[in-house]
């Protein structure tokens, strides 16, 4: 007897067809994978399925409004691919790394990348603080639901190149969280912060993003030394493997 999907992806709202445009079928396929394999493997709760389009696919894809043309992006704690996969679907000009420590999740991410043919997306298994110095620094770090802002910044900001930015999808408490994290962000070399609403006419309510821009020393002095040490270790390891 053939087994049906664990859950059915609801029909797409008209706005999803318009917003994803040429990538709409790929977005639909991703939604189906989340609703079926994602639920079956415990990567997403079954209760999320009815709101996959609005709360997950579209809410993440609208982050693309803030990402500059043609840059490198690292989605920290990508989980089942959010926001990294929807961002990749609407922005084929970007080079995106999905960073995730759990094997069950990176296996799913790799499958999604292959099924959707996302050649501009790479999956890396690891914790942000552990890959520091081994991943090339990126222009933009994205994240959703990974950790409170101060802790997330400690993981994400050191992965940035000078003058890069971290874009964190946050809820209603974004401004408050930012206020509490300001000192920690400053120590990490963040020179400017803002709370921005994106997705007007696409998602309601709009998505709230915390943007943290760094100056010439992402992560501050402490992380510069840590990054240099990790890069040296990685170079030594590569040499020994040759």
Ligand X SMILES: C[S@@+](CC[C@H](N)C(=O)[O-])C[C@H]1O[C@@H](n2cnc3c(N)ncnc32)[C@H](O)[C@@H]1O
| Chain residues in the site for ligand X (CB under 6 A) | 76-80, 82, 99-102, 105, 127-129, 144-146, 155
Query: C-beta of 227: minimal distance to ligand X in Å?
Result: 16
Token pair of 159 as six digits: 């992965």
Q: Rank residues 78 and 208 by Cβ distance to ligand X and give the closer one.
A: 78
Contact assessment for residue 164 and residue 139, using Cβ atoms and an 8 Å cutoff: yes
Task: Return the exposure string of 194-213: e unless at least 16 CB atoms fall within 10 Å of the residue's CB, then b.
Answer: eeeebbeebbeeebbbbbbb
Q: Rank residues 79 and 189 by Cβ distance to ligand X and give the closer one.
A: 79
Tell me if residue 67 falls in helix, strand or coil.
coil
Query: C-beta of 102: minimal distance to ligand X in Å?
Result: 5
Q: Rank residues 91 and 170 by Cβ distance to ligand X and give the closer one.
A: 170
Contact assessment for residue 154 and residue 226, using Cβ atoms and an 8 Å cutoff: no
Q: Rank residues 101 and 220 by Cβ distance to ligand X and give the closer one.
A: 101
Query: C-beta of 38: minimal distance to ligand X in Å?
Result: 10
Contact assessment for residue 44 and residue 34, using Cβ atoms and an 8 Å cutoff: yes
* Angstrom distances, CA of residue 172 to CA of 92, 166, 176, 231: 30, 18, 9, 38
Query: C-beta of 41: minimal distance to ligand X in Å?
Result: 13
Q: Rank residues 15 and 124 by Cβ distance to ligand X and give the closer one.
A: 124
Query: C-beta of 55: minimal distance to ligand X in Å?
Result: 10
């Amino acid at each position: 007897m053939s087994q049906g999907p664990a859950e059915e992806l609801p029909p797409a709202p008209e706005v999803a067809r318009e917003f994803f445009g040429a990538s709409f079928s790929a977005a639909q396929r991703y939604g189906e994978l989340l609703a079926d394999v994602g639920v079956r493997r415990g990567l997403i709760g079954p209760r999320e399925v009815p709101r996959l389009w609005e709360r997950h696919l579209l809410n993440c894809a609208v982050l693309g409004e803030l990402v500059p043309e043609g840059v490198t992006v690292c989605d920290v704690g990508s989980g089942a691919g959010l926001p990294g996969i929807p961002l990749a679907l609407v922005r084929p000009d970007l080079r995106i790394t999905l960073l995730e420590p759990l094997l069950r999740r990176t296996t799913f991410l790799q499958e999604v990348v292959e099924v959707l043919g996302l050649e501009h997306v790479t999956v890396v298994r690891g914790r942000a603080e552990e890959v520091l110095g081994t991943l090339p620094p990126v222009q933009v770090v994205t994240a959703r639901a990974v950790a409170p802002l101060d802790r997330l910044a400690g993981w994400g900001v050191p992965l940035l190149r000078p003058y890069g930015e971290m874009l964190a999808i946050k809820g209603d408490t974004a401004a408050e969280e930012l206020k509490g994290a300001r000192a920690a962000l400053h120590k990490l070399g963040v020179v400017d912060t803002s709370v921005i609403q994106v997705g007007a006419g696409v998602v309601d309510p709009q998505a709230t993003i915390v943007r943290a821009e760094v100056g010439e020393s992402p992560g501050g002095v402490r992380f510069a030394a840590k990054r240099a040490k990790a890069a040296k270790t990685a170079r030594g390891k590569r040499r020994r493997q040759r």
